[in-house]
Amino acid sequence: MTDLVVRRMSFQFDVAVPFMWQPANPAFAIYCNAFTFIAVPFEKYIIAALRQAEDRLASDANVAAEAEAFLRQEAQHAAAHRKHMLALIEQYPGLERCYEQTMASYDDLIDTHPVEFHAAYIANLEATFTPMFKVILDHRDSLFASGDTRVASLMMWHFVEEIEHRSSGLLLYRHLMPDPWYRVKHIRQTFRHVGTIAATVAKAFDEHIPFDDRGASAQEAMSSALRRELGYRMHKRVGGSAPMFHAVSAGRLLRMLWGLTLSQTPYHDPADQPLPGCADTWMREYERGADMTTFAGKG
């Protein structure tokens, strides 16, 4: 049986939620807002793709249980991020077109590729989350502490659960496609598509949200991220604002990049990844009955 826990969270978002929810780090605020606009269609894509494979996944009881818990967690993520997204669209109506474009892009993937491709795409992207989100959670004080509680807590919950189900995407992929190299062959296509989606979102942010409300260029913040992070550490001006990981040491950033590289290798095992200690703290607080919708941020 799966160890995943499906947690129902009652996040509340309204037009009072600011786009610039983390003024201490505008690039991180933009990243997380973009994460919301990508998460909603991506989570729906996961659900649609794996529902297509339901009969094949059901051939193994343990795999079927993992798939069901994984999908239920992702459905909870989609529902919560949709609330956040709709609150931003209400303030900036032009963003609705951005959501429609990202949904259409994922719908096109569903229509034009086989289940095995979807499983590889999901596994490739999900594999990057543990090394990335470990850095975010390990530096939660500098990234979340002074931010809006609603958005900070939403992001922390999602990042913790992505680490909790870090093995699910690859487990389901390996059941549907035993060849480990099939996933590797589709790495470039996976991240080209994700990059196109991210660029669409960033462009919409710059077009429809006044600069004073976002504090930085979204396209600048989300493009050439590695170049900007390295340039910042070499005391070079790269763009007009500090990158989102400016408080992270160069050594720690390089370890994250190495982890991201390893996550795309054919025999990668996410179960062996180093994990952030605060993930266990978050889960203990949830079990204790704490209100996790106000767990992070300044309140």
pLDDT tens per residue, range 39-81: 999 999 999 999 999 999 999 999 999 999 999 999 999 999 9
pLDDT confidence of residue 68 = 94
Judge whether residue 88 has pLDDT over 80: yes
- Domain extent for 240: 26-294
pLDDT band at 142 (very low <50, low <70, confident <90, very high): confident
pLDDT tens per residue, range 213-267: 999 999 988 887 777 787 777 766 555 678 889 889 889 999 999 999 999 999 9
219 is a domain residue: yes
35 is a domain residue: yes
Average pLDDT, the chain: 93
pLDDT band at 195 (very low <50, low <70, confident <90, very high): very high
4 is a domain residue: no
HEC letters along the chain: CCCCCCCCCCCCCCCCCCCCCCCCCHHHHHHHHHHHHHHHHHHHHHHHHHHHCHHHHCCCHHHHHHHHHHHHHHHHHHHHHHHHHHHHHHHCCCHHHHHHHHHHHHHHHHHHCCHHHHHHHHHHHHHHHHHHHHHHHHCHHHHHCCCCHHHHHHHHHHHHHHHHCCCHHHHHHHHHCCCHHHHHHCHHHHHHHHHHHHHHHHHHHHHHCCHHHHCCCHHHHHCCHHHHHHHHHCCCCCCCCCCCCCCCCHHHHHHHHHHHHHCCCCCCCHHHCCCCHHHHHHHHHHHHCCCHHHCCCCC
pLDDT confidence of residue 227 = 76
209 is a domain residue: yes
Rounded to an integer, the average pLDDT of 179-191 is: 97
- Which of 17-31, 110-124, 174-188, 271-285 is predicted least confidently? 271-285
pLDDT confidence of residue 52 = 93
8 is a domain residue: no
pLDDT confidence of residue 171 = 95
Q: Which residues contact 297 (CB under 8 A, 6 or more apart)?
A: 144, 145, 146, 147, 148, 149, 150, 151, 152, 153
pLDDT confidence of residue 1 = 53
**Number of domains comprising the chain:** 1
Is residue 9 classed exposed, middle or buried when 0-12, 13-18 and 19+ CB atoms within 10 A define those classes?
middle
CB 113, CB 43: distance < 8 Å: no
11 is a domain residue: no
pLDDT tens per residue, range 166-177: 999 999 999 999
Judge whether residue 19 has pLDDT over 60: yes
114 is a domain residue: yes
2 is a domain residue: no
